A and B are shown apart, each in its own frame.
Chain A
Amino acid sequence: MNYNRIYNSDSSAYIDIPILGTYNNSYDGTRTLSGRVDSPYQIDDVTNFNNWTGTPSEYVVTTLGNRVSVLTGVDNAITNESLNNFFKKTDIDFYGSQTKTYTMLLKDNNGTYPYLKYESSDYRKSLKIVLGETVQSKEPGIYLLYRGLTNYTYNNGYSYKQENACNIINLAIPVPINKLAKMLYDMESYYEYNIVNNENQGVFSTSLCASRLLNPNDAVIGGLTIAKYLGSSSQTHLTSTNRIFIDDKVWQDIDKIEEKEIEKNDDGTYNDGDGEGGKGEGPSTLPDGDTIDKITIPTLSPISLGIYNIYKMTVAQFRDFKSNLWNNTVMDYLTKIWQSNPMDSILSVALAPFTPTTSADTNIYIGGQTIPNATGAPLVESYVYHVFNLNYDDKIGTVWGNKYDYDGVSYTLFVPFVGFQKLTVNDIYHKSLELNYIIETLTGNGICYLYTKPQESNFDTKEKNRPTYSWSFNCYSKIPLSGRNMDSFVTGIISGVGGALSGNLGGITTLATARPTIQRSGELKANTAYMGGRRPFLIIEYSNLFIKKGQYSKEGRPSWRYTKLSNCNGFTKCKDAQIECENYMSQDEANEINNLLNEGVII
């Protein structure tokens, strides 16, 4: 296939790229180039452009690089100033922080028509394209916009537009970025062929628009406007074609992409189906709903009652504590208070997976008795609160652009101290995730809940933030000082009080090894949690979608619209088609047409 490859003197080659700037083609045949030029590419002249007479002005604005926005209009009223203003707005649009809508008005001899509407927000952009008189929301992406045919009468060397359809976009076709260049070429070929064979006078035009920022590595960014004019019945026609330059190596890479691989990157379009919603009125009747508050730390803090104290201790401090706990004076004192089990005065010793907020080190205080030479940092709060964030949609977003973004994906969340948890796709997709932990510092018991916040890209724009999942857990690794263990231990100590056990607190750890208290007391779960992963993460499994070559041209994209068939393009399949048998059409012919429409036709 001839891709209009242009060879340099050194045998290197390139393909056309879009021209930047504004073309102003006047009635008198003069042509000026102007407009915004802030791309590494050069403005270049159009090819095969001769004697553009008798036609309205043709404006072509194309930018490359990080600012992509293409407008094409037949309009005498557009000025460079208005275009520049539009692009300024577009920049704000792309980089702005608030939802804005900009409408570019194109004016021609027959009036003013809304052309494109860009809507954006601080996160993700949406695109609304005016198709005829229907404003359709589109997924962010790149679209080729087919404009309607405008017929011209030709009289005394001047043409006059007969219809006002020139500014109306009939079709917006999503363009996979790696297929862009080939599509542009095919489109050009198609229109040239179409014009010659239909022997019409007219202007065919296409334009390209993009509603997202394109990355430098996207390789091919650009637009093409084809405006062909048949000045007379003798079929002398003029051509204005923006040139597209693509480095030959890049083009060869594109050329090597197999159709199947290209089609995998599905930029599927979306519409709301124009449905009537059965007997109801659809989502408009749904309540707005409430934003559910996050779960917060309890306001009352048991530790503030002074009934117990929790100390954060270093290993050295623990050794000091052990050494001094068995001081005869201390143990005698504790035995007087807790006669049956003096070790009940020690609630727990644990390894905690966090650093709590404490005050300065003080002497450890048990049952009203200060343990001499034993210090620790007392905790000031009964609860610890931590939040983990994952802006998932920001990192992946739409994958296939079709239902497999939901049906073909599974999400598994690893929740520290809880384990792997399966999540429902609709709870997660297009939402940022917030994992909130509240841990009670005395026991290590805690709750963890997943708080989801819908993004702008979520299809339901009224969905509100809410806790979606919650789990309970214990995150401490407890060192066995449970009451039962300590009973026997302390009993033995008491019977042998006399200093033999003084300084022998190592017996505690020995005991732990000898008696699997952890298992019996059911604390294994807690200790296992402590040993598990500490940082939450999300595992996403995507189906490997396979779109058959030519699937859409042979089977179409799924649709469910009640519409005039002239609004359709390409393969179109109907359900229970009903053609009225009118004029000279027989019933048999009507039946045959209905059958063909139900099987699928190409419009």
Chain B
Amino acid sequence: MNINLYVNNSQNNVVNKDISLVQSLTDSHLLKNVSNNTLEIVVSYNENYNKVNYLYIPHFKRYYYITDITYSQQKLIITAKCDVLMSFKSQILQSEQIVIAQENTGDMYLEDATWSEDSRQYVRNLYFDEDHFNHSQDCYLLAVMS
């Protein structure tokens, strides 16, 4: 079975992972399905594999996180869990969804948005332009019946 071993430099929640190919193997074989999306794969030992943390199985069309590597009889047993984000990134990116938060754009005036404010306040005073009632304008008035 063919597999490609990578170094993944991205966080798990990144859809399009930043990966660097380390080695393409043709002699690996599937040991067992641990669960629906977790596999164990056996590959020949190579010390360079210590740094790999990601793999791709073309036959399955899926990318996998390497969750464990154990050594046994000159072989490496790799436990891998499917990365559904990378594996199905095309479908994900082409899908239309209700997006409630985005990093670079949004409606900053939404009522349910949350920021924090501390106890201090900025206070600014602004005079109106005119000063019609300045004390220099005061006067005495006498009102009488004419």
- Report if B27 contacts A (CB, 8 A): no
Residues A350 and B98 in contact in the complex (CB < 8 Å), given A402-B109, A546-B115: no
Interface magnitude class on chain A: 35 or more
Q: Which of B87, B97, B120 contacts A578 (CB 8 A)?
A: B97
Q: What is the CB-to-nearest-CB distance from A337 to chain B, in angstroms, rounded to a whole number?
A: 9
Within 8 A of B (CB), among A414-457: 416, 433, 435, 437, 441-442
- Report if B74 contacts A (CB, 8 A): no
Q: What is the CB-to-nearest-CB distance from B46 to chain A, in angstroms, rounded to a whole number?
A: 23
Point out the residues of chain A lying under 8 angstroms from B146, CB to CB: 306-309, 365-368
How far apart sit A536 and B36, CA to CA, in the bound complex (Å)? 73
- Report if A392 contacts B (CB, 8 A): yes
Give B133-146 as 1s and 0s: 1 = Cβ < 8 Å from A's Cβ atoms.
11101111111111
Contact assessment for A354 and B117 in the assembled complex, using a CB-CB cutoff below 8 Å: no
Within 8 A of B (CB), among A168-201: 171-173, 197
Contact assessment for B97 and A562 in the assembled complex, using a CB-CB cutoff below 8 Å: yes
Residue of B nearest to A443 (CB): B143
Contact assessment for A563 and B97 in the assembled complex, using a CB-CB cutoff below 8 Å: yes
Point out the residues of chain B lying under 8 angstroms from A541, CB to CB: 121-123
Consensus secondary structure, chain B interface: mixed
Contact assessment for A576 and B130 in the assembled complex, using a CB-CB cutoff below 8 Å: no
Point out the residues of chain B lying under 8 angstroms from A597, CB to CB: 92, 97
Contact assessment for B92 and A312 in the assembled complex, using a CB-CB cutoff below 8 Å: no
Point out the residues of chain A lying under 8 angstroms from B95, CB to CB: 564-565, 577-580
How far apart sit A392 and B126, CA to CA, in the bound complex (Å)? 8
Contact assessment for B106 and A537 in the assembled complex, using a CB-CB cutoff below 8 Å: no
Binds B, one of A226-234, A267-275, A503-511: A267-275
Point out the residues of chain B lying under 8 angstroms from A589, CB to CB: 37, 82, 84, 87-88
How far apart sit A315 and B138, CA to CA, in the bound complex (Å)? 12
Contact assessment for A269 and B106 in the assembled complex, using a CB-CB cutoff below 8 Å: yes
Apart from A388-B132, A405-B109, 7 more pairs, CB < 8 Å: A307-B146, A391-B129, A539-B125, A557-B101, A557-B108, A558-B108, A564-B95
Can you report 22 residue pairs joining A to B where beta carbons are below 8 Å apart?
A197-B20, A269-B104, A270-B108, A273-B107, A308-B144, A353-B133, A388-B132, A396-B124, A403-B108, A542-B123, A544-B119, A545-B116, A552-B103, A557-B106, A561-B98, A564-B94, A565-B96, A574-B100, A577-B95, A578-B97, A580-B95, A586-B36
List the 8 closest pairs (A to B, CB-CB), nearest first.
A570-B103, A556-B101, A268-B108, A557-B106, A558-B113, A402-B108, A559-B106, A347-B143
